[in-house]
Structure 1
């Protein structure tokens, strides 16, 4: 099991990062909650990881927060939730937000995520009710700092593209149609908003796919 990787961030995209470690380049699938906290390319990065092995593929999933990684591991134990769907859930909600949804029985927020229908959302609320107790009270160590140490979230790096364009591309990568993504972003966009804020608001307001 590959539990953590530290190296130089070579490339980053909304759904994947390329990290060079000891001369090897690791392609790491990431949720958007991790993408927005990555440093600029060329800088050192640490990701908490989970290695998935299947007959037709091997995938390495990475998270800036160990809490998000641990929640990912709990999510994929839920009936009908695979790694891709779990990463999609963590693209719309970070670990703390998901915990609040489960504790508040907030099914509406869950069904707004692509791939999460009403039945899946109900299953998540039921099966995760007891499991999230394993996560409560945990600190969220930020990449590059000692595990168990509380820290503020790192500041986002300046975007190379317009926030609205980046947010729209992220929604399309999540599975929404281009027209749906464009409408959702246009509906919530305000001057000065970051791409992360746009994505969160768009997901919160989109009609379930």
Structure 2
């Protein structure tokens, strides 16, 4: 953008001061949600996947993990129900050519565990299926994130399923030698079907699915 003969680059900066926002979900649309906390309504950009999860909680108290995206022309907040998806969002916007909007589209199509599998398997076709992702960008995402996805936090939040229960089951499976991404995907399927599963039962059922 040119101002007074000078060109200003619109750089994107993330990792701000807000870790999460907890309050009442007062408004919900396919791309945005409003959380009221302390008398202030916070407008957060959300993924299509989180819209599907959030719309049934309108008027209820909940917590969204927040990522601040600061540009010279805008200051936006992105909200995520799951910490691992925020971590993946941060990784995606760190890839050249992938902005917050594109990262949100990707996470609307695939959750964090699915993206881990896609990247680990060099599946650029799956990434190209997302609107706006071409061959070069898909390949760049895979190359840039293939090593970083190992550090993605294993967090799964579901109605009735606690983070500790999920993490304990995941830890046990990885200790047994199963890949973290594959174990997360199996556990997510199990907890979606039956959120009240105990750690022990989740492990037993997961072992039968490998």
Structure 2 length as normaliser, TM-score? 0.68
> Is residue 45–residue 143 contact of structure 1 (8 Å, CA) maintained in 2?
no
Aligned residues: 154
Distance in 2, matches of 1:21 and 1:7, equals 5
Unaligned runs of 5+ in 1: 156-209
| Corresponding residue to 1:28 among 44, 54, 59 | 44
- Going from structure 1 to structure 2, the CA distance change for 1:31 and 1:143 (only over 3 Å counts) comes to farther
Distance 1:116 1:67, change over 3 A: same
Tell me the distance in 2 between the aligned counterparts of 1:143 and 1:74: 26
RMSD of aligned alpha carbons: 2.2
1:17-56 matched pairs, under 5 angstroms: 17-38=33-54, 39-56=56-73
- 2-structure distance, mates of 1:87, 1:153: 22
| Aligned residue number for residue 59 of structure 1 | 76
* 2:95 aligned partner: 78
1:129 counterpart (146, 149, 152) = 146
**Cα distance, 1:37 vs structure 2:** 1.0
Task: Tell me the CA shift for residue 35 of structure 1.
Answer: 1.0
Q: Distance in 2 between matches of 1:100 and 1:121?
A: 14
Q: Post-superposition shift, 1:41?
A: 1.6
Whichever of the two has the greater Rg, that structure is 2
Q: Runs ≥4 in structure 1, deviation > 3 angstroms?
A: 141-149, 151-155
The SS at the match of 1:55 is coil
Tell me the secondary structure at the aligned position of residue 23 of structure 2. Answer: strand
Aligned position for 1:96: 113
Question: Which structure shows the higher helix fraction?
Answer: 2
Q: Does the 8 A contact of 2:19 with 2:65 survive in 1?
A: yes
Aligned-partner Cα distance in 1 for 2:162–2:22: 13
Q: Using the alignment, how far apart are the partners of 1:10 and 1:37 within structure 2?
A: 15
TM-score of the superposed pair, with normalisation by structure 1:
0.68
